[in-house]
């Protein structure tokens, strides 16, 4: 007997989406996972395919979708710089057209809908830590603006649908998230450092490494998304979801080298345009409204993530064939221009 509660997860075969699908299935929901596999992979949800409550559909949300669901988690969008800058026009389209299509679906079927927004809406912030009331400092014409402004526009659409149509919406602003299932060559700092350290390659740091980030383990993040969706309809957000423990990029590199026992050296490259100097969430709202805070410390989360990458890059334990691993590495080199 199928569940009477059906949940749509767009971008469900991506890093965070796959973890979210797993959690929803564990609590007994019927899950429709939709992904166009631009950055998500079937491999991420392979272990869920035998679950009778799980359905996988290949679909691009830039086009309309006609399904019956009670809730929608809209996670579809490339989220790492090398992926969203590879096709910036399409990145903006999936953020804006995709949001319009998913909001239209939610309106038709009277579903609650959650938007996975991002800390990138704050740009290079002049306020620290970042509160939801801060409007941000974003370059509207820079190389990152396809993602930053696309997500800002999506938030606008969500709140306009809420005000104009009474649609029950939720907006989560997700800060740096890491954990097993990350793409090994997505250009994000945690995956970059771990892959380089496990291969005893030089660890590439941009700038002096003094810029700060706050790293939230994926299980904590997924718990926050579910709590936000399940809370009162009056709680629309936006709500910051992230770990307020702040580390410099250099500190992260040193910790990864230590945990992997790597012989890697740190090398320094020019800082990319519009790279934020500080990024740290104020999670007072999440604590108060969701009774949520991260529980997994960076060292503990890194150990789990390092073990995942070690298996992915050196064995077939994750189900990835040598051909797939070669393809993943080649894709990473192509996208990063190496």
Cα dihedral 235, 120, 306, 244, rounded to 10, equals -60
Q: For residues 61 and 64, give the distance between their C-alpha atoms in angstroms, rounded to a whole number.
A: 6
> Coil, strand or helix: which one is 248?
strand
Q: For residues 36 and 283, give the distance between their C-alpha atoms in angstroms, rounded to a whole number.
A: 32
Task: Yes or no: say if 149 and 143 are a contact pair by the CB < 8 Å rule.
Answer: no
Instruction: Work out whether strand 239-241 and strand 203-206 pair parallel, antiparallel, or are unpaired.
Output: unpaired
Compute how many other C-beta atoms are within 10 angstroms of the C-beta atom of residue 27: 10
- The DSSP secondary-structure symbol of 177 reads E
The residue among 59, 69, 99, 114 whose CA lies nearest residue 229 is 114
Task: Yes or no: say if 135 and 202 are a contact pair by the CB < 8 Å rule.
Answer: no
Compute how many other C-beta atoms are within 10 angstroms of the C-beta atom of residue 295: 11
Let me know if 308 is a catalytic residue.
Answer: no
Residue 293 backbone dihedrals phi, psi, to 5 degrees: -155, 155
Compute how many other C-beta atoms are within 10 angstroms of the C-beta atom of residue 234: 7
Which member of 38, 84, 122, 147 is catalytic?
A: 147
Measured between its terminal Cα atoms, the distance across the chain in Å is 51
- The DSSP secondary-structure symbol of 327 reads H
Distance of CA 205 to the CA centre of its chain: 22
Active site residues: 147
């Amino acid at each position: 007997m199928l569940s009477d509660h059906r949940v749509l997860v767009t971008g469900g075969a991506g890093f965070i989406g796959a973890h979210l699908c797993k959690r929803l299935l564990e609590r007994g929901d019927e899950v429709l996972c939709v992904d166009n596999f631009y950055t998500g992979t079937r491999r991420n949800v392979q272990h869920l395919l035998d679950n009778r409550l799980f359905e996988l559909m290949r679909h691009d949300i830039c086009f309309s979708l006609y399904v019956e669901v009670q809730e929608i988690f809209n996670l579809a969008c490339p989220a790492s710089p090398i992926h969203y800058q590879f096709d910036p026009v399409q990145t903006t389209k999936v953020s804006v057209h995709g949001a319009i299509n998913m909001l239209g679906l939610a309106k038709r079927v009277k579903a609650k809908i959650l938007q996975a927004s991002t800390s990138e809406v704050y740009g290079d912030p002049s306020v620290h830590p970042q509160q939801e009331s801060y409007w941000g400092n974003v370059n509207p014409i820079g190389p990152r603006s396809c993602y930053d402004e696309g997500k800002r526009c999506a938030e606008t659409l969500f709140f306009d649908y809420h005000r104009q149509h009474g649609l029950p919406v939720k907006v989560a602003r997700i800060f740096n998230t890491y954990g097993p299932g990350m793409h090994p060559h997505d250009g994000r700092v945690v995956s970059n450092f771990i892959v380089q350290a496990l291969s005893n390659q030089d660890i590439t740091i941009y700038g002096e490494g003094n810029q700060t980030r706050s790293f939230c383990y994926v299980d904590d993040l997924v718990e926050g998304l579910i709590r936000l969706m399940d809370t009162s309809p009056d709680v629309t957000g936006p709500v910051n979801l992230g770990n307020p423990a702040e580390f410099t990029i250099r500190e992260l590199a040193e910790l990864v080298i230590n945990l992997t026992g790597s012989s890697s050296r740190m090398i320094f490259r020019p800082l990319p345009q519009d790279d934020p100097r500080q990024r740290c969430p104020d999670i007072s709202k999440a604590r108060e409204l969701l009774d949520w805070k991260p529980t997994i410390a960076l060292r503990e989360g890194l150990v789990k993530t390092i073990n995942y990458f070690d298996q992915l890059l050196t064995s077939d334990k994750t189900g990835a064939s040598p051909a797939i691993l070669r393809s993943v590495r080649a894709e990473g080199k192509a996208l990063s221009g190496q």
